[in-house]
Structures are given as C-alpha cells and as structure tokens.
C-alpha cells in the first residue's frame, strides 16, 4: 500500500529570536513569561524589562510540555542557563499547567501590558485575536486594564477557524489574506457562527461554483464582522493595537479597520508574543517589589522536599 | 477596572460587569446569589498588582450566565436582582 503525503495547509513556521547584543550577565533580574494558548505557545525571557530572547511554537496536546519546549527553544538561541531565571509567570489558556511558573496571571492583563510594551504607551485599545477566543481590552498609559471583554464561547472569529478554512480550501495559512482579495466583487459574509457549520456552508458555496478566493473573502469578512461586533460593545479609543496571530492576516484586518475607522498601530515585534511579554514584565515588576526573588523559589522547593 | 464576565452569542449579550475599583471583596454577593456564580479571590488574576481581595464570576459559570441568571430574571414583574441589591458598593451590573 502506498500512502500519499498530504500538505498541512494550516501549519505555520515556529521561530525563535535572541538579541545578540544583550549582556544578560549584568542584568539584575531575569524574568520569563510563558503564554500557553490553545493553538500556539510563546516563551519570552527579559533582562531588566528588555526582550532578551523569545520563541513561538505550536501547542501540542500537552500543555506542560509545550511550555517546556517553548522555553527551551527560546534559550537555545542564547548561552544562558535556565536556572538564571529569577521569576517565571505563566499565562494563557494553559497557565495553570506551566510547571516552572511561580505565578499565573490571566492573558487579559498580560496582553494589555505586552501591547503597551511592543506598540508603545499610546495604545488605549487592544484587540487580541487568538486561537480560540477574542479579547477586547481598554488600558491606560501604563498598560493597566481599565475595561475588558472576552468572547470564548465558541471558536468562530478566531485563529483556529481560519486554520480549518485554510485546510479545507487548500490554501497555506500565510497566503489566506492575500488570496482573499483576489475577487472581482466582495461577497456576502458566511452566515454561520459556528466553525463546523461555516465549514459545511463553505462546502456548499464551492459546489455552487464559487472560487476558493471568493469563499476565503466571505469567511474573512465574517470574521471581521464578528470581531467588530465585540469591539463595538467596548468602544474604541486610539491608538488601536491588534495582538495575536490574526494580526498577521491582512484579509481580516483590512476588512475590519474600515469598520472601526482607524489605522492599526505598527510594531517591529512578532504580534503573537504580546501575552508572554506582558507576563515577563509582570514578573519583573513583582521582582522589583521584592516579591519574587530566588529565595522564595528555593523556599518553595524546600517545602515540597520536606513533605 | 471594569471586568466583564460572560459572553456574546447569536441569542444576545450576557455580561456581568464588576467594577473592581468599587469592589471591596466583602463577599456579600457570594452569599446573595442563589446560583452561586460569584467567588471572592485574594489575588485578582486580571490585575496582579492589586493586593486586596476582589469578587469575580466563577470560571465554571462564566459561559452559562444566560441560564444561571435566568431564575432571577422573569419576563415581567422583575424584582431587583439579589446580587445588585446585596452589593453595597454598587459594583455589580448586568447587561441584559
């Protein structure tokens, strides 16, 4: 029997990055933030509140392992040993399953803080479109959350739904945005809210003779509309920043921004690391307050070994 | 901080808003709610820098608010909501 190897259209490349000029030896506090999401995991290591290294990977079926892999992948780009990390904060869906975390913080607080760092302090509204949920957050100039709204009721309007569509239509996930604009006229949005139903609706549209591009356009529009209905409830104040994987999908973002009537803020950083950056910054702030030094960690270890 | 717990789906918006600047973590809402949807936590997971206790909607109730709150919200002759009544600080509000 011969087996045909099928291309995984939803797969995106995992990456890591380190700042080669950073002198981590001289840093007072090294903190790590690990964001284990439903689809992707990120680890960021910061030296005195500056990004030293990060990694962006796919979450497998095992959250603790994903956290470990992401941190190892980030440290692989550097020569720093893991035990140099003073404080580690876990965040995201799998935050309670990060084995090396000293504390867990919700992704809402982390994304606001992270966006404040990677997009700059003028950001007032943060939209995080992740693998499984949408979060709209308002924050002040210090990145403190003032109002938030989250929709995690179902996967519609999120990254995982887009992956399902990429796979269904045989379009690599990175090309979805571009391909969705190759239509003569903009179609109506896919009406189903649920990804499973939207998928069967798309199959029906393909049978009716719609091109792949037209179906992509209809789904991107549906996502943009769904995201807008949540953002509208919270209200939008400039500057407006988008974090998470969906920020890389221009098919959705270019349809969403005219509805909001603003330009999205720009950054040189990977938008997916915002949550982990926020977590590492919280770790740094807790260290500065004297709450998170090594001794507390050692004490914890001693307590567990006594038992 | 206005913490909105709940969700939006095809049948409407179902959010309970807790104003954490007003909430003092007294726990009156926890005992007042017949469906036990509120919990008081020592550390606010949404605001790591806050040190006082705060009320929030329990994680297991977050996605069921439409159903959990239903008994307190009859279609007509609606009495005041027990959680809103119980909160002396006026921190709790409902979106529907």
| Closest chain A C-alpha to B90 CA, distance in angstroms | 17
Note whether A135 and A72 are same-domain residues: no
Confidence of residue A292 (pLDDT cuts 50, 70, 90): low
If asked whether residues A110 and A221 sit together in one domain, one would say no
A15 strand-pairing partners: A56
Q: For residues A257 and A140, state if they share a domain.
A: yes
Identify all chain B residues contacting A233, using CB atoms and an 8 Å cutoff.
Answer: 8, 13
- For residue A210, give the CATH number of its domain: 3.30.420.40
Alpha-carbon separation of residue A23 from A78, A293, A296 (angstroms): 11, 20, 25
Which residue from B55, B49, B76 is spatially nearest to A292, judged by alpha carbons?
A: B49
Query: A103 touching B, CB under 8 A?
Result: yes
Q: Which residue has the higher pLDDT, A3 or A141?
A: A141
> What is the model's pLDDT at position A157?
67
d(CA A109, nearest CA chain B) in Å? 5
pLDDT tens, residue by residue, B32-86: 999 999 999 988 888 888 888 999 999 888 888 999 999 998 888 888 899 999 9
Q: Give the distance from CA A133 to its chain's centroid.
A: 10
Q: Where do the domains of chain B lie?
A: 2-94
Shared domain check, A284 and A254: no
Whether residue A3 is contained in a domain is answered as no
Same domain membership, residue A301 and residue A180: no
Section A74-97 average pLDDT: 88
What would the pLDDT profile of A175-188 be if each residue is shown by its tens digit?
999 999 999 989 99
Element spanning A259, H or E:
helix A250-260
Q: Domain check: are A156 and A232 in the same one?
A: yes
Q: Is the distance from CB of A143 to CB of A278 less than 8 angstroms?
A: yes
Domain co-membership, A103 together with A137:
no
A257 and A175 in one domain? yes
Tell me: do A85 and A24 sit in the same domain: yes
Residue A304: band (very low, low, confident or very high) from pLDDT cuts 50, 70, 90: low
Q: Are residues A29 and A75 in the same domain?
A: yes
Task: Among B7, B47, B49, select the one facing A151 at the smallest CB separation.
Answer: B7
For residue A229, which residues of chain B lie inside 8 Å, CB to CB?
8
CATH of B2-94, one of 3.40.50, 3.30.70, 3.30.390, 1.10.730: 3.30.70
Do A153 and A259 lie in one domain? The reply is yes
pLDDT of residue A155: 67
Whether pTM > 0.90 for this model: the answer is no
Cβ neighbours of A268 (radius 10 Å): 5
Tally of CB atoms within 10 A around B27: 14
- Domain holding A244, by residue range, is 123-264
**Total number of domains in chain A:** 2
pLDDT grade for A276, boundaries at 50, 70 and 90 = very high
- Beta strand A125-129 with A40-47 is unpaired
B11 contacts B25 by C-beta, under 8 angstroms: no
The Cα of B88 is separated from the nearest Cα of chain A by a number of Å equal to 21
Query: What integer pLDDT is reported at residue B31 of this predicted model?
Result: 92
- A66-70, A139-143, B5-9: least confident range: B5-9
pLDDT score at A127: 92
C-alpha span between A50 and A44 (Å, rounded): 10
Do A129 and A260 sit in the same domain of this protein?
yes
Nearest partner of A145 among B22, B75, B79, B19, judged by Cα: B19
Residue A295 — pLDDT band, cuts 50, 70, 90?
Answer: very low
């Amino acid at each position: 029997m011969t087996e045909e190897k099928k291309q995984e259209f939803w797969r995106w490349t995992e990456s890591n990055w380190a700042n080669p000029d950073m002198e981590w030896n001289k840093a007072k506090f090294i903190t790590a933030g690990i964001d284990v999401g439903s689809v992707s995991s990120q680890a960021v290591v910061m030296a005195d509140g500056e990004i030293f290294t990060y990694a962006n990977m796919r979450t497998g079926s095992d959250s603790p392992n994903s956290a470990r892999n992401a941190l190892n992948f980030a440290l692989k780009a550097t020569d720093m040993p893991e035990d140099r990390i003073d404080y580690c904060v876990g965040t995201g869906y799998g935050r309670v399953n990060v084995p090396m975390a000293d504390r867990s913080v919700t992704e809402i607080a982390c994304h606001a803080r992270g966006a404040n760092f990677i997009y700059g302090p003028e950001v007032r509204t943060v939209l995080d479109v992740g693998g499984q949920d949408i979060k709209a957050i308002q924050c002040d100039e210090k990145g403190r959350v003032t109002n938030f709204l989250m929709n995690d009721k179902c996967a519609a309007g999120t990254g995982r739904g887009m992956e399902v569509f990429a796979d269904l239509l045989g379009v690599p996930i990175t090309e979805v945005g571009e391909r969705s604009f190759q239509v003569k006229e903009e179609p109506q949005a896919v009406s189903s809210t649920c990804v499973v139903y939207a998928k069967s609706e798309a199959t029906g549209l393909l049978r009716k003779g719609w091109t792949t591009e037209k179906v992509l356009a209809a789904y991107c529009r549906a996502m943009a509309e769904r995201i807008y209905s949540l953002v509208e409830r919270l209200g939008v104040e400039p500057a407006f920043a988008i974090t998470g994987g969906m920020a890389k999908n221009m098919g959705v973002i270019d349809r969403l921004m005219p509805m909001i009537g603003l330009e999205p803020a720009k950054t040189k950083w990977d938008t997916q690391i915002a949550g982990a950056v926020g977590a590492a910054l919280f770790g740094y702030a807790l260290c500065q307050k004297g709450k998170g030094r090594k001794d507390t960690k050692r004490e914890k270890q001693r307590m567990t070994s006594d038992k | 901080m206005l913490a909105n717990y709940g969700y939006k789906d095809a049948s409407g918006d179902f959010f309970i808003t807790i104003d954490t600047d007003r909430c003092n973590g007294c726990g009156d809402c926890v005992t007042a709610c017949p469906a036990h949807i509120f919990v008081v936590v020592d550390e606010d997971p949404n605001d790591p820098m806050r040190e006082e206790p705060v009320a929030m909607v329990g994680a297991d109730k977050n996605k069921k608010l439409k159903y959990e709150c239903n008994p307190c919200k009859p279609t007509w002759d609606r009495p005041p909501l027990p959680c809103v009544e119980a909160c002396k600080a006026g921190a709790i509000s409902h979106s529907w």
